[in-house]
Structure 1
Amino acid sequence: MTEKRSDFEVALQMREFEITQLAQRNNFFMIFQGVLLAGVIQSAHSIPVVSFLGCVAGFSISLFQVGMASGAKYWQEYWEAKLSEFEPNLFHEDDCRYNNTVKGRLSKRGISGRIESLIMRRYSVSRIPIWVGITFAAIWFLLVLCTLRGYSPLGIPSFIVGFNCHA
């Protein structure tokens, strides 16, 4: 029994480790991309090759962010599967009783409408970094196209992307 309990504790610690590391790693990627984006915008396309390389670097980094977040999500799911072997009822993904409990607590606090709806969707904090990375990849890709073509591929005004795409 103690060996099973020890295995459970290790699996629980590993799951928590993966979630904590995901947040820290994602923060690194977000800060790095933010600084890079600010640099590209600040450069105002004064040296086109620098803007182009900055955008390519941003695109690449956002893809790495997606990979990192996806890998972390994989291992979180792995450790949750291991935990479920020990405690089958540990994760209540489809249990209406827990939804009703949460709804009741929200109602007591006066939270309703759109906010309640968003909370009840149960967004995964470990999947959101994947979507953030994909979003940044799309933005960087559009900026790469802009630097290659010399104009905004979507007709975005030059003052929004930070340099004169029409020059």
Structure 2
Amino acid sequence: MATSSNPNPSSTSTRPEEADSPVGTLTKAYDFAQRQREFEISQLTQRNNFFMIFQGVLIAGIVQSQGTAAPIITFAVCLVGLITSLLQVGMAAGSKFWQVRWERAAKTTEIWLLEELKDYKRVSNFLTADGDFLTADEKRRLADVNLTAARSTDKIEYDAGAITEANKVEISQGATTWRRWLENQLILSKFSVSRIPIWAAITLSLFWLYLLVPTISINGKTVGPLPGYFNLGVAPLKVEPSTRNGT
């Protein structure tokens, strides 16, 4: 919070209008919630990288062994990979939970700030700029803010799909090729970068489970990766010349 200049260097005093206003405190709360949200996102990236690198090493070991490692080693590696990928699912989901928690806190604080600044010109909103992510009560409160004289020429935007429409205008510039059109459609799909690690971990879990099942035998009979009635198998990428010629 800013302080007024004081001829006495031994003391400083806060301006009365700042001391009586809640805006300074709300700004600090808003900044704190935003920083916590960013912290959770950065932590998700770092933690996810650890799990991905660890599983990458396990996969490299499986590929390098080409199935010739001792059965117990193969089983253990696949089991560790499966457990690790399941832990990765929990980590990614937990990080998303706390990101949403702080995002909600920042959004609530932003609405409080907008209500306090309703009579000021040049006010912008960020987390509340898209009505798709607002409750009915939040929309009503923003509508009340727009009724003030200061907002008559500077409306707070909270329409549904507002961000998508704004991005559509921005990225459609120079979209003259099919590749650019496809890229734009993918961008406008609004994939969640914080949810993708969850699905990546689920995919790795299925991968490790598929490798783990054939390492288990019951009464001397190996459990197949798929039931026989699927009549489904895998073919090698590299075919030997004798096999290619049918001999």
CA distance in 1, matches of 2:184, 2:131: 18
Contact kept, 8 Å, 2:79 with 2:208, in 1: the verdict is yes
* Cα deviation, residue 109, structure 1: 3.7
CA distance in 1, matches of 2:91, 2:195: 11
Match of 1:155 in 2: 233
1:78 counterpart letter in structure 2: R
* Cα deviation, residue 112, structure 1: 4.4
Structure that is richer in helix per residue: 1
Alignment of 1:49-128 (within 5 A): 49-88=72-111, 90-91=127-128, 92=130, 94=132, 95-110=160-175, 112-128=180-196
Q: Does 1:3 align with 2:25?
A: yes
CA distance in 1, matches of 2:191, 2:94: 18
CA distance in 1, matches of 2:55, 2:131: 34
CA distance in 2, matches of 1:93, 1:22: 27
Q: TM-score, normalised by structure 2?
A: 0.60
Per-residue CA distance 1:41-93 (angstroms, 9 max, x = gap): 21222211111110000000000100000000000000011011111452426
Per-residue CA distance 1:111-155 (angstroms, 9 max, x = gap): 743222211110100000000000000000000012223654352
Q: TM-score, normalised by structure 1?
A: 0.87
Aligned alpha-carbon RMSD (Å): 1.9
Contact kept, 8 Å, 2:131 with 2:162, in 1: the verdict is no
Give the structure, 1 or 2, with the largest relative contact order (CA under 8 Å, sep 6 or more): 1
Is the deviation greater in 120-129 or in 103-112? 103-112
Equivalent position SS for 2:234: coil
Equivalent position SS for 1:108: coil
**Structure 1: any 5+ residue segments left out of the alignment?**
161-167
Contact kept, 8 Å, 1:106 with 1:112, in 2: the verdict is no
Aligned length: 159
1:50 counterpart letter in structure 2: I
CA distance in 2, matches of 1:106, 1:4: 34
Larger Rg: 2
